[in-house]
Structure 1
Amino acid sequence: MNEVALRTVQVMQYKMPLREGGSLPALALADDGFNYVIKFRGAGQREKALLAELLGGEIARFLGFKVPELVFARLDPAFGQTEGDEEIQDLLKSSQGLNLGLHFLSAAVNFDPAADAVSSELASAVVWLDAYITNVDRTFRNTNMLMWHRELWLIDHGASFIFHHTWENWEKHAKSPFPLIKDHVLLPRAGELEKADEKFRQLLNPEALWNIVQSLPGEWLEAMGETGAMEDWKQVYMDFLLLRLKHSETFLNEAQHARKALV
């Protein structure tokens, strides 16, 4: 199976901040001529948010979801020195080096749960994915999905893999039911969770997961400030993913019970 190989682009022009959430992502032009939504390593959760974004996004892509292309976005030390906003200038200064970009989907609109139709099959698949990667941020308040050319696209997985904010008891987190799934925006429509579980348990395999984990940049892993070797942290992510998949019935049952309480 081919390795996950993200392209690397150079950020050329900071266009505008996207003031949604606390991480201050921005729309920027890269040297390949395309616009990207840049997630900065100097923001809020720093490199851990980028690691989660990459892992969650590429797992979603492997499973067949529509996800904007992810690229490594490099910022030179001189970038942003002319920025007038002090908060943004500080963010850019602390984000020198490798950041993460999502291809900008021009004219895409935020998913509206009251107006946009999503099949039970697709809703179930998204709920399963988010329970698997412990994504806390796909709620009615912040759906983190876009409609583009009448298709559903998944964005913003930086709030996933919540275990890596402490690294303690990762095995316990891997086997957890993830009760926060009760707040998922698509849970009321997710009537085929068992089918999603069966499908994705067959699709996800150690080789595919390892290829995704291997794409995590050492620059981000080493910057976390944790003790241990880079390969050790990759192995923890890998072990977490395999163990959570093995115990998928735990979060599957939690999602089913939460849905029954809603409908």
Structure 2
Amino acid sequence: MNLNLRTVNVTRYITPLREGGSLPALAEADDDFKYVLKFRGAGHGVKALIAEFLGGQIAKFLGLPVPELVFANLDEAFGRTEADEEIQDLLKFSQGLNLGLHYLSGAITYDAATNDCDEVLASKIVWLDAFITNVDRTFRNTNLLIWKKELWLIDHGAAFYFHHSWDNWKANAVSPFALIKDHVLLPKASKLEEVNTEFSSKLNDSILKEIVNQIPDDWLQWEDGAISPDEIKEVYFQFLSIRLANSQLFLKQAQDARKTLI
């Protein structure tokens, strides 16, 4: 499977998509496609982009339905004519490499009360989110879309939350991830054991290293400068490798949490 991302140049800022700290936007690129743009100058900055990138790439490798990810360049002059000062500042601080997700035109938000999801797919998504410690796929905010009658995963920017308190990464790598109890698809996830067997055999250190090594060095020039880009990549790799080797921990947590719901 080709895990390399295309790089596009953003040509037009169309509209912000919702209020909030991350201020994602709908934008058009020089390949004539529209993208949901995630900005390095917003909220949690490049760490949210790294989480989005790693979560999306792992999901793609596992065969889960995710929109195409692209690296999206913002030119220095881009956004100078934007009337909204907040958006103008966001674009100014986001010059360089950002991340785009192919825009699923006409998609609707998944609603657990009215939309269905088969047990295998639900189990795969729950496993993925437990693996990458994604706290943001709840009933309140599903981060799932229905597009052309299929379920699609979006927005993994809240995953890998250990990187906001970097010193605790080893403890987080073996965390059972108690917050899986709030996952919107957990009630439907009856095939977790089978999925754990499948995904644990599909993923390996070689694949994880390949994905992690694709994080742009441009996103790894962190302000304190105490850790180099290569050292940061190594921590992400070790986190994923240790977590995969201990998948029984988060598998059991998810299974136990599910028992309280059914």
Normalised-by-shorter TM-score class = over 0.9
* Aligned residue identity for 2:67: P
* Aligned residue identity for 2:208: L
* Aligned residue identity for 1:147: I
Distance 1:131 1:74 in 2: 31
Distance 1:225 1:59 in 2: 28
SS at match of 2:226: coil
- With normalisation by structure 2, the TM-score equals 0.97
User: Are the counterparts in 2 of residues 9 and 72 from structure 1 also a CA contact under 8 Å?
Assistant: yes
User: Are the counterparts in 2 of residues 48 and 224 from structure 1 also a CA contact under 8 Å?
Assistant: no
What does residue 149 of structure 2 align with? 150
* Aligned residue identity for 1:164: H
What does residue 35 of structure 1 align with? 34
Deviation at 1:20, TM superposition (A): 4.8
What does residue 6 of structure 1 align with? 5
- Return 5+ residue gaps in structure 2 as ranges: none
* Aligned residue identity for 1:205: N
User: Could you report, residue by residue, the CA deviation over 1:146-176 in whole angstroms, capped at 9, with x for unpaired residues?
Assistant: 1111111111000000111111121110000
Instruction: Summarize the alignment of residues 51-62 of structure 1 with structure 2, pairs less than 5 Å apart.
Output: 51-62=50-61
Distance 1:207 1:20 in 2: 39
SS at match of 1:168: helix
SS at match of 1:222: coil
Deviation at 1:21, TM superposition (A): 3.9
Change over 3 Å in CA distance of 1:224–1:36 after alignment to 2? farther
* Aligned residue identity for 1:72: F
User: Could you report, residue by residue, the CA deviation over 1:104-136 in whole angstroms, capped at 9, with x for unpaired residues?
Assistant: 011111111111110111111100000000000
Deviation at 1:226, TM superposition (A): 4.2
* Aligned residue identity for 1:131: A
- Return 5+ residue gaps in structure 1 as ranges: none
What does residue 76 of structure 2 align with? 77
- After superposing the two structures, state which structure 1 stretch, 14-23 or 140-149, moved more: 14-23
User: Are the counterparts in 2 of residues 10 and 73 from structure 1 also a CA contact under 8 Å?
Assistant: yes
Runs (4+) off by over 3 Å: 223-226
What does residue 212 of structure 2 align with? 213
What does residue 178 of structure 2 align with? 179
Distance 1:80 1:246 in 2: 45
User: Are the counterparts in 2 of residues 171 and 240 from structure 1 also a CA contact under 8 Å?
Assistant: yes
What does residue 194 of structure 2 align with? 195
User: Are the counterparts in 2 of residues 109 and 148 from structure 1 also a CA contact under 8 Å?
Assistant: yes
- Percent identity (aligned): 61
Change over 3 Å in CA distance of 1:225–1:31 after alignment to 2? farther
Higher relative contact order (CA 8 A, sep 6+): 1
User: Are the counterparts in 2 of residues 47 and 224 from structure 1 also a CA contact under 8 Å?
Assistant: no
SS at match of 2:9: strand
Instruction: Summarize the alignment of residues 1-263 of structure 1 with structure 2, pairs less than 5 Å apart.
Output: 4-223=3-222, 225-263=224-262
Deviation at 1:39, TM superposition (A): 0.1
Deviation at 1:229, TM superposition (A): 1.6
Distance 1:183 1:225 in 2: 34
SS at match of 1:123: helix
* Aligned residue identity for 2:135: V
